[in-house]
Amino acid sequence: MTEQIFCAGCGIPIQTEDKQAIGYAPPSALKRDVVICQRCFRLKHYNEVPDISLSDDAFIQLLQSIGETEALVINLVDIFDFNGSWIPGLHRFVGHNDVLLVGNKADVLPHSTNPDKLKNWMHQASRELGLRPLDIFLISAETGMGIDELASAIEDYRKGKDVYIVGATNVGKSTFINKLIDTLGGEQHLKLTTSQFPGTTLNFIGIPLDDGRSLYDTPGIINHHQMAHYIDYDELKTITPKKEIKPKVYQLNEKQTLFFGGLARIDYMGSGRRSLICYVSNALYIHRTKQENADRLYAEQIGEMLVPPHDKTVDLELVQHDFSLKQENMDVVFSGLGWISVKGHGAQIRAYAPKGVRVSVRPSII
């Protein structure tokens, strides 16, 4: 049996198989006298925190350990996919610790978005999910929008405690932490520290705060119901908005259908004529047709005109979800794909999404 090697930076057992998993080092690195994992290597040389993911069990064990510490928790969500990027059961894991809820990727929201309305909705949605955040922020880790304000709020709210950053994969956690390192460290090279999560074998790298405390990154949990798990990397790029979403307005008559590539479909059942405003990636093709033609069109055009997916043979097993929208102005949300704002009240909507992808409704956020 070969001897287990531990990372000289964070102490994690080194493995050479899975690049995305914790403790990875390329096989060539094992020949060196001092072995460090890829994550520590990138941190040390580039001041950059790369992505890593953990199995669900390891992640849950890690989250539970946060509840046993005295800390401020920063919960990062993707504002474009709020429910899809929510960590189930987070309120139980954080225990008595305060949580700041941070909506990332605010740069993709249309300028017409009312930030207060959005924050109010985030507040309500998180309460329904069992979490009572102390405060809510909207940021863009990519553009730096809102980062300074958040950094000073973290300083105020942590009251001398450590800070843990949690989030599902793809919410932009690495981008955020790297931006925060820039904000906190400026030009100088930060001396990063390591710490062990209580009750786990995992060591974590911390960004030092000025009072000897640290801000800890945690690996992202993979949420299996995100659209991202049903398509490949290039297709994901098509459906993930990169810049400000330009809403597309459709005036629909009863029994008309909109396809979103081949990934989702909305049938407007009635009543009357009304507007549906689509907030999806500008690069996603939307096709309008009559409901009576929709099944045939889908069967013929999936992977051809209706892309993504580009694979004609893939069976996404579209599942039907019926909604009766009693309230005025509601959003039908396809987890990871965006949302369709339905104007007026009393609309009957039939939505289709791949099996496992969540479809939900909420009061319009714009």
Q: Which of 12, 74, 171, 228 touches ligand GDP by CB under 6 A?
A: 171
When binding is defined by CB under 6 A, the residue of 5, 15, 51, 161 that contacts ligand GDP is 51
Distance CA 346, CA 148 (A): 43
Spatial distance between the Cα atoms of 146 and 100, rounded to a whole number of angstroms: 14
Between 77 and 306, CB nearer to ligand GDP: 77
Contact pattern for ligand GDP over residues 1 through 40, marking x by CB under 6 A: ----------------------------------------
Pick 164 or 298: Cβ nearer ligand GDP: 164
Q: How far is the CB of 299 from ligand GDP (least distance, A)?
A: 33
Give alpha helix (H) positions in 90-143: 90-93, 115-128
End-to-end distance of the chain based on CA atoms, in angstroms? 60
Closest among 314, 322, 327, 245 to 286, alpha carbons compared: 245
Cite the DSSP H helix spans in 268-352. 291-301
Nearer to ligand GDP, 169 or 335 (CB): 169
The residues, ordered by sequence, that sit 6+ positions from 332 with a Cβ below 8 Å of its Cβ are 266, 323, 325, 339, 340, 342, 349, 351, 359, 360, 361
The amino acid that residue 41 corresponds to is F
Q: In terms of CB distance, is 214 or 240 closer to ligand GDP?
A: 240
Q: How far is the CB of 52 from ligand GDP (least distance, A)?
A: 9
182 lies in the binding site for ligand GDP (CB under 6 A): no
Number of residues that bind ligand GDP (CB under 6 A): 18
Which of 142, 155, 254, 311 is in the footprint of ligand GDP by CB under 6 A?
142
Specify the amino acid at residue 257. T
The C-alpha atoms of residue 139 and residue 119 are separated, in whole angstroms, by 12
Among 65, 83, 126, 169, binds ligand GDP (CB under 6 A): 169
Q: Judged by CB under 6 A, does residue 223 bind ligand GDP?
A: no
CA distances from 130 to 87, 94, 299 (A): 11, 11, 41
The burial class, CB within 10 Å (0-12 / 13-18 / 19+), for 3 is: exposed
Q: Which is nearer to ligand GDP, 172 or 206 (CB)?
A: 172
How many angstroms separate the Cα of 220 from the Cα of each of 53, 173, 251? 5, 8, 40
| 128 Cβ contact partners less than 8 Å away, ≥ 6 residues apart | none
Of 161 and 229, which CB lies nearer to ligand GDP in the complex structure?
A: 229
The reply on whether position 105 binds ligand GDP by CB under 6 A is yes
- Does the footprint of ligand GDP cover residue 365 (CB under 6 A)? no
Can you tell me the distance from the alpha carbon of 141 to that of 205, in angstroms, rounded to the nearest whole number? 20
Q: Pick the binder of ligand GDP from 23, 62, 65, 107 (CB under 6 A).
A: 107
Answer for which of 103, 206, 220, 336 binds ligand GDP (CB under 6 A) is 220
Of the candidate residues 65, 75, 97, 104, the single one contacting ligand GDP (CB under 6 A):
104
- Name, in order, each residue with C-beta under 8 angstroms of 348's C-beta and a sequence gap of 6 or more: 268, 269, 270, 271, 322, 323, 324, 325
Binding pattern to ligand GDP, positions 303-342, x when CB under 6 A?
A: ----------------------------------------
| Minimum CB–partner distance for residue 233 and ligand GDP (Å) | 10
Q: Which residues contribute to the site for ligand GDP (CB under 6 A)?
A: 51, 104-105, 107-108, 140-142, 167, 169-175, 220, 242
